[in-house]
Amino acid sequence: MASSSSDIINPASQEEITLAVKWSGKEYTVRVCADDSIGELKRRICEVTNVLPKRQKLLNVKVGIKPAQDSALLSQLALKPGTKILMMGTVEDDILVDPVSAPEIVDDFELQDEDTVEIKDAEVNKAKLRRRVDQFKLNLLSPCRPGKKCLVLDIDYTLFDHRSAAENPKELMRPYLHEFLTAAYTSYDIIIWSATSMKWVEVKMKELGVLSNENYKITALMDHLAMITVQSSTHGVFDCKPLGVIWGKCPEFYHPGNTIMFDDLKRNFVMNPQNGLVIKPFRKAHLNRATDNELVGLTRYLLAIAELDDLSHLDHRRWYEYTEQ
């Protein structure tokens, strides 16, 4: 049987390239592959410099005569091993401005089934996932518990309205958050995964009282460094959260059959669509706080499916129906 384009991988694109990054009088080494994007390169630079990708300006990284966009692939650039990249950027001190200053994603483009299959089955993306499993350091806040399922939660617009203003961050917390986490913890290990920086994740979870609640424990926190960049023939290059990173780091505890992920952006679980549930975004907290009951319904759903041996056959798009049975 002939191989599809998604099954064919160019060995040259997988060869690791070592680059030198000069910043603030020091030189750092980063390793990337030709099929990585500029956005992925910036994540690798962030790992060694702590300068967030959005704060980085790569002075001599160009496509032609124009500065390269984050979606550009390194294969489009004339980068050779040992190339020295000059960077300007500042380490984030006031981390609370982090998500607000980032561009807001309002429209979550609708990926068709064929797009999802193309992305999750592409060998180039499987190779990126393997590299991320090797590179990402998962620090456990609490031990994984044998026999428990895994619940992965986004932060922005899932647990917290990060765009509205308030004197107290708890005013922007999604209603019933602690009740939801307390109930879920009986059957699920809970992992928080945000597309922002780890420092912001830690600060926000502490402010909301999530890391100090006596009724539940958080297994781990994950940030943008655990994400990968993928490319769709219809929607271009974008980042996603591959659950395979968790499965690769904790194979004795978590797998596709016992993991579910809540995120307001469907694109984030394009590498594992069967495990993703699109949660209704929590925006305009001051207007919607009194009427938002999303976590109440999802609590019932999680508890209803907790005793199933395998969650992978469920259609999470119809979770409302499941709770009414």
DSSP string, 235-277: TEEEEE--THHHHHHSTTT--TTSEEEEES-GGGGTTSGGGEE
Same domain, 126 and 242: yes
User: Bridge partners of 149?
Assistant: 188
Residue 107 lies in a domain: no
Q: Is 53 part of a structural domain of the chain?
A: yes
**Structural domain count of the chain:** 2
- 325: confidence class by pLDDT, cuts 50, 70, 90: low
pLDDT in tens, 240-273: 999 999 999 999 999 999 999 999 999 999 999 9
Residue 4 has pLDDT above 80, yes or no: no
Packing angle, helices 294-305 and 177-185, rounded to 10: 0
Asked if residue 306 and residue 168 are part of one domain, the reply reads yes
Residue 285 has pLDDT above 50, yes or no: yes
The helix (H) or strand (E) run that includes residue 193 is strand 188-193
3-class DSSP state for residue 181? Answer: helix
Same domain, 118 and 76: no
Say whether both 17 and 57 belong to one domain.
Answer: yes
Q: Is residue 306 part of a domain?
A: yes
Categorize the per-residue pLDDT at 117 as very low, low, confident or very high, splitting at 50, 70 and 90: confident
3-class SS shares of the chain: helix, strand, coil, % to 5 = 35, 20, 45
Are 136 and 76 within one domain? Answer: no
Token digits for 283? 């925006």
CATH number for the domain spanning 59: value is: 3.10.20.90
282, 223: one domain: yes
Cα angle at 22 between 17 and 23, to 5 degrees? 130
What confidence score (pLDDT) does residue 316 get? Answer: 95
What is the domain-level CATH number for residue 197?
3.40.50.1000
Are 68 and 131 part of one and the same domain? Answer: no
Altogether, the residues listed in the chain come to a count of 325
| Single residue among 28, 57, 91 that ends a domain in this structure | 91
Picking from 274, 38, 227, 12, the residue whose alpha carbon sits closest to that of residue 124 is 12
Non-local CB neighbours of 63 within 8 Å, separated by 6+ positions: 69, 72, 76, 77
Q: Does residue 3 surpass a pLDDT of 50?
A: no
Q: Are residues 76 and 117 in the same domain?
A: no
Indicate whether 35 and 142 sit together in one domain.
Answer: no
Q: How confident is the model at residue 100, as a pLDDT?
A: 38
Residue 215 counted as domain residue: yes
153 in any annotated domain = yes
Of 58, 91, 124, the residue at which a domain comes to its end is 91
- Among candidate residues 61, 91, 121, the one where a domain is terminated: 91
- Tens digit of each residue's pLDDT (9 = 90 or more) over 28-53: 998 888 888 898 899 889 888 888 88
Q: What percent of the chain has pLDDT over 70?
A: 88
Q: Which domain holds residue 72?
A: 11-91
Residue 231 lies in a domain: yes
Residue 152: which pLDDT band, with cuts at 50, 70 and 90? very high
How many degrees, rounded to 5, is the angle at CA 126 between CA 122 and CA 130? 170
Nearest partner of 247 among 225, 228, 272, judged by Cα: 272
Within a domain: 5: no
Q: Is 63 helix (H, G, I), strand (E, B) or coil?
A: strand
Q: What is the pLDDT of residue 321?
A: 84
pLDDT average, residue stretch 157-168:
89
**Residues 171 and 44 both lie in one domain:** no
Answer yes or no: is 97 within a domain: no
For the segment 11-19, the average pLDDT, to the nearest whole number, is: 67
Residues 176 and 319 in one domain: yes
Do 86 and 124 lie in a common domain?
A: no
